[in-house]
Amino acid sequence: MVINTINRRIFQTKKVASLLTSSRFLSISNQNLFIYKDKNVTIEAPVYKKGGNRLANAIKYVNEVDATRKLIDKIPDQAKATVLLERIEGNPELLFYVAMFHHQLAKIGITQNNEDRTSLLWKYRWSYVTSLKKVHGIFFDLCQVLGVTENKHKLGFTPDKIGILDPNNFTSEQYQELQTGKYKGTDYSEILMIGDNPFKNKKKNRV
């Protein structure tokens, strides 16, 4: 049994090595896919080392990725949301999806003013199925493609497990400004979508 476990690990590591040495992966792995930095902590995404022993490099890289993700998991969601918003503040599409996610939550009564969301459970689950999961998935898929974040983020099935995009992880100023259709000079009120852009009419009311 121990030998079989070791053999599986070797096989998996060889597969990882093969993947990591492809030119497509190397171009991705050399980007800073997720860097968290504040006054106390700095976390940089591991970089795959070219050349030398490919299998040893792959093992080292996989271990570094695992260690980095464990560190990231310990960072509070509120801090992650701050970094995330800083990274996307010039991208209208990504800002649109964050604002749209908050807009859909607000339609069922979930804003920054909810201390107890228990009574909203079934409304949340219905919205989860009909809109929230889709908007959340598109946003983080785009973030991965654009190198904003490396990690996949799962949207919880209960309103107390929304994750990084929970309105409570944003300051009231950030939350309110996002709902205007323009954030720090980046306008997303004219983005075309199936159905109405909920921020289009709010453009007229801006000061």
Specify the pLDDT at position 195.
Answer: 65
Nearest-10 Cα torsion for 49, 51, 57, 62? 50
Assess whether pLDDT exceeds 90 at residue 192.
no
- CA 9 to CA 13: how far, in whole Å? 6
pLDDT digits (tens, 9 = 90+) for 75-121: 888 988 998 999 999 999 999 999 999 999 999 999 998 778 999 99
Contact in structure between 91 and 185 (CB atoms under 8 Å): no
Burial track 142-163 (b if 16+ CB lie within 10 A, e otherwise) = bbbeeebbbbebebeeebeebe
Specify the pLDDT at position 129.
Answer: 97
Both tokens of 151, joined, read 């990690």
Specify the pLDDT at position 38.
Answer: 61
Which pLDDT band, with edges at 50, 70 and 90, does 205 fall under?
Answer: low
Assess whether pLDDT exceeds 80 at residue 191.
yes
85: nearest Cα among 161, 165, 141: 165
Look at phi and psi of residue 168 and say left if phi exceeds 0, alpha if psi is from -120 to 50, else beta: alpha
pLDDT digits (tens, 9 = 90+) for 19-49: 444 333 333 333 344 455 665 666 677 777 7
Strands 42-43 and 36-37: antiparallel
- CA 29 to CA 4: how far, in whole Å? 30
Specify the pLDDT at position 125.
Answer: 97
Look at phi and psi of residue 35 and say left if phi exceeds 0, alpha if psi is from -120 to 50, else beta: beta
Specify the pLDDT at position 177.
Answer: 96
pLDDT digits (tens, 9 = 90+) for 123-169: 999 999 999 999 999 999 999 888 888 667 889 999 999 999 999 99
Specify the pLDDT at position 204.
Answer: 53
Contact in structure between 91 and 180 (CB atoms under 8 Å): no
Specify the pLDDT at position 183.
Answer: 95
Specify the pLDDT at position 11.
Answer: 46
